[in-house]
Structure 1
Amino acid sequence: MVFVLIALWTIAAILLIINPKNEPTRWAAFTAFTGGGGGLSRAVTETILPYLEQYQISTPSLEAFLLKMHMFGSFMNHNGLPYCFLMFAVSYSGLFRRKKKMILAGVLPIPIIGMLFLTSFTPPIQHNFQALFFWCVPYLIVGLILLTYSFMKEKNPKRKRSRLFSNIVAFPPILFQIVANYTLKAFFDVQEVWRFMPFVITILLVTFLLLGIKYGVLGVRIKFEKDRLDGTMRAISYGTSILNHTIKNEVGKIRIVADQIRNLAASSHQEKIASDAAVVLDSTKHMLDMVTRIQNRTQDIMLKEGIHEVTDILSRALSMTKVFLEKRSVQVHTDVDNKAIYLLCDPVHLQETFHNIIVNAAEAMEPGGMLFISVCETRKHLTIVFKDNGKGISQDELTYLFDPFYSTKHRKQNFGLGLTYCYNVIQQHDGSIDIQSELNVGTSVVIQIPHKRIRSHSLPLTEVRDIGSNQGYVG
């Protein structure tokens, strides 16, 4: 049972270290931690105490302490796991508002308090399994139902897959817990089925690691990718700062010399040399512009925040691209909520983000393509979706789209920094940006900004700029 203890507490540690700010992830970690209590209890009575007795190194105080650990671990496993798992399912399902979750977090532990009086804490601990069955099993079953429902109602393909994998990880150990730790012990006095637990935990650990690394379970892989991208951005920003400084110094020298050559050639009427010197000056100017552009795209985003209307920012982004969209005969259709949505944000960076996404969508479509833009407010997020009917992106390329200098356009004038910049801006707004695509069908860019950034405003809706909701804006 030492393996069960190590495996479950390892999973708990991974979840807490990688994604500690995510509420469902924290409850999943607490579930694994309380589940590991059973391993701790058995490890004490079946491994640690016999070892100490064998080598005669046990003392009364040490033995008393270990027996307390045995009772604590067993009580935590039988009573704490159902509560933590149900709270995980409640938070993960997205069906409950924050206030209701806080109420449930305070009410659901009440049976645990009752079990303190129904449990014999004279070593070894003796549980009232029939009492445990009548509240623990409902907790676990309701949790499984919530996980199943949240999977079935999920419409986003990527999140639906993540929920499926989370269910695959959760169901086997919880079902085993229902059967082995509660049902068989409560009504059939079968005590030894739990010895199969190491096999169940082995499957759980392997499944968790494989799915977590390859696809993502409870945000684990998402955090890995985010850390990798954040580290890459820091390295790129540092490297380009050094490169920018060096190039500016050296190109500055070249410009001074080239300007002197041009002036001398012009005074001596050597037009060919003067013309060549002018070419050098133009080239150095272009080089400095390119370096500045790269530097601006990779440096840390510093927000200048204020309260701004989202559709107004989107309208300005559409205006910036109007000529380009008209040239490609792209039609833009918008669908926004019938109320003004004010956001605590940096309007300049957000507008540039929208602009980049719109241009990318237009470039991915044939002339006459359609771009659909929707803006809606949910209980948790402000969601902005840009959906085109272009050529789409392969699944292999989707993995690298936010990486600096990666581009699917393969053009000399493209630096592959547009989506990296967009990622950086949305991240600074505490949000997320996700790209879903299918070849020859189209691409959707989904931006989600947390509800905490939405603000109320006194302006009536009539004073907000109309961006042509459902009118078919032709860009």
Structure 2
Amino acid sequence: MMLFMLCTIWALGLFVLFTDPRRTPIRWASATAFVGGGGYLSGLIDEHILIAWADTLAAHPDLEQGLVLLSRTASFLCQTGLPYTFLLFAIHSSESLSAKTKTFVQILGLIPPLVMLAITPIYPVLSFNYWIMVAWVFPYFFAASFLLIGRYRDERDPLVKKNLFYTNLLIIVPLFLVFLLIYGMRIHNNYEAWRYNGWVVAIQFIVIIAVSLKYGFLGVRLRVEKRRLDSTLRALTSGVQIINHTVKNEVGKISLYADRIHDYAEQHNQPELKEDATVLLQSAQHMLNMVDRIQTQLRDVNLREQSVPAAGLITEAIHALRPFTAKQQIEVVTELDERLQLLCDPALLREVLTNLCMNAIEAMKTGGVLNIQLFLSKKHLVVSVADTGAGISRENLARVLDPFFSTKKSGTNFGLGLSYCYHVMQKHQGLLELSSEPGAGTTVFLLFPKKRVAVRTSTARSESEETNR
């Protein structure tokens, strides 16, 4: 059991580390797992290795003493290092603290563990004063939790915010239980409660895997879902091209014969037959129009990229839709960072913005608020289009990106709008995320990678404006 738990915790540490080893918070999160595993390393040595190899070790006392020292050291590092590494993970995750503050706290935070090193007998028997431990361990835990929750509360990027929510849930709650079982119970002379940590860690590991697959924690589901939608769009594009060719050939025949019938009816003065032929011609043209519209929305997208002011694109899209917002008494509220330049295809992006805004307008038939924001987060340039309409049910929300799925009852809607928007965002190496709640409206987020963004300084902006004048 000890070996299994040790491997599980260290595997979790490696799993976290490999998600993004260049980021300091990730490295401290991984360190928290590895330091926490020290307790099980100590238990493995004391309860298995020293007992199973007792006869062999009796003949090698130096090796036995070395194993005992390793066990005590691992336990000491676990109990003093776990709160410290957790605090450092939270500090380096915070965006409200300066680099100097983080360095200062990192150094200052070492004082309690060093004090414990000075006053704690480690070998041959590890003997902590747990009243002193509790006096600094729980303040470290609550300070770290406060920073992590604050980071989640302040985050505006929906993708990062979702990741932070599950990170907090899967770290703060299990660690609180671990701290209670290790430190809290030992001030009451219960030195065996720590064994229940095995259940806490096992449940935590299972939940992390489940959340990763279902909600996209650490990006796992995002890649699976992206592949599924991409393959669907490719299959549809190929299929529509084949159908389009076939339908055009057959409709061409229908049109030819309908036209001949129309001429015959006109020559022989047969108005009823002429009217029937006209209906056939109109139906044939309608079929061609429908196929062309579907093919247009599923066509492959070729980018013609320029670096343009992102706020300007949004303003243009809103201005073009002013007759619709005025007719339905919709208030348009914008919060746009004018400094942001985006490398994109402006024509395609304008089409995406128009599509999203029209969806929002159609969801607010009795009026409402259309709120559009443009801002730069830690990882993305984010455009959010939010309405105060009826919202989308949970069942439909999971399907809105599927081609040909639509909640609209109009016969002219093919359910390809959001699929097309997704396709355009994919070509920009970006993401499209939706958030909706019935009765509370819908928000669509366009997330562009930061490598496509440039931030104009006030000087550069002034020079640009002077050139335009």
The answer, yes or no, to whether TM exceeds 0.5 is yes
Partner of 2:222: 226
Q: Whole-Å Cα distance in 2 between the matches of residues 403 and 60 of structure 1?
A: 68
Q: Whole-Å Cα distance in 2 between the matches of residues 155 and 126 of structure 1?
A: 47
Q: Whole-Å Cα distance in 2 between the matches of residues 375 and 182 of structure 1?
A: 47
AA of the residue aligned to 1:356 = N
Matches within 5 A, 1:428-443: 433-443=432-442
Partner of 1:455: 455
Partner of 2:416: 417
Could you say what secondary structure the match of 1:332 adopts? strand
Partner of 1:469: none
Partner of 1:237: 233
Change (3 A) 1:240 1:267: same
2:212 touches 2:220 (CA, 8 Å); kept in 1? no
Q: Whole-Å Cα distance in 2 between the matches of residues 376 and 284 of structure 1?
A: 43
**What is the root-mean-square deviation of aligned Cα atoms in Å?**
5.1
Which sits farther off after the overlay, 413-422 or 76-85?
76-85
AA of the residue aligned to 1:85 = F
Partner of 1:398: 397
Tell me by how many angstroms 1:348 deviates.
Answer: 2.8
Matches within 5 A, 1:42-61: 42-48=43-49, 50-51=51-52
Could you say what secondary structure the match of 2:400 adopts? coil
- Which structure exhibits the higher relative contact order, with contacts defined as CA atoms closer than 8 Å and separated by 6 or more residues? 1
Partner of 1:472: none
Tell me by how many angstroms 1:383 deviates.
Answer: 4.3
Matches within 5 A, 1:99-114: 99=99, 103=103, 107=107
Tell me by how many angstroms 1:144 deviates.
Answer: 2.4
Could you say what secondary structure the match of 1:89 adopts? helix
Tell me by how many angstroms 1:159 deviates.
Answer: 8.2
AA of the residue aligned to 2:222 = K
2:157 touches 2:377 (CA, 8 Å); kept in 1? no
AA of the residue aligned to 1:236 = T
Could you say what secondary structure the match of 1:308 adopts? strand
AA of the residue aligned to 2:196 = F
1:4 touches 1:197 (CA, 8 Å); kept in 2? no
Could you say what secondary structure the match of 1:406 adopts? coil
Which sits farther off after the overlay, 34-43 or 3-12?
3-12
AA of the residue aligned to 1:333 = V
Change (3 A) 1:401 1:80: farther
Gaps of 5+ in 2: 268-273
Partner of 1:200: 200
1:89 touches 1:147 (CA, 8 Å); kept in 2? yes
Q: Whole-Å Cα distance in 2 between the matches of residues 416 and 17 of structure 1?
A: 38
Change (3 A) 1:248 1:192: same
Tell me by how many angstroms 1:373 deviates.
Answer: 2.6
AA of the residue aligned to 1:229 = E
Q: Whole-Å Cα distance in 2 between the matches of residues 60 and 256 of structure 1?
A: 95
Could you say what secondary structure the match of 1:371 adopts? strand
Change (3 A) 1:184 1:363: closer
Matches within 5 A, 1:27-46: 27-46=28-47
Tell me by how many angstroms 1:255 deviates.
Answer: 6.2
Gaps of 5+ in 1: 465-475
Q: Whole-Å Cα distance in 2 between the matches of residues 245 and 55 of structure 1?
A: 75
State the Cα deviation string for residues 339-365 of structure 1 (Å, max 9, x = none).
443233332332222111100011111
- Mark the structure with the bigger radius of gyration: 2
Q: Whole-Å Cα distance in 1 between the matches of residues 264 and 428 of structure 2?
A: 59
Q: Whole-Å Cα distance in 2 between the matches of residues 245 and 158 of structure 1?
A: 35
AA of the residue aligned to 1:169 = L
Partner of 1:471: none
Partner of 1:286: 289
Tell me by how many angstroms 1:146 deviates.
Answer: 1.6
AA of the residue aligned to 1:418 = G
State the Cα deviation string for residues 221-263 of structure 1 (Å, max 9, x = none).
x734423430222221331243144334434644675677679
1:173 touches 1:201 (CA, 8 Å); kept in 2? yes
Which sits farther off after the overlay, 309-318 or 251-260?
251-260
2:212 touches 2:219 (CA, 8 Å); kept in 1? no
Partner of 1:467: none
Change (3 A) 1:34 1:397: farther
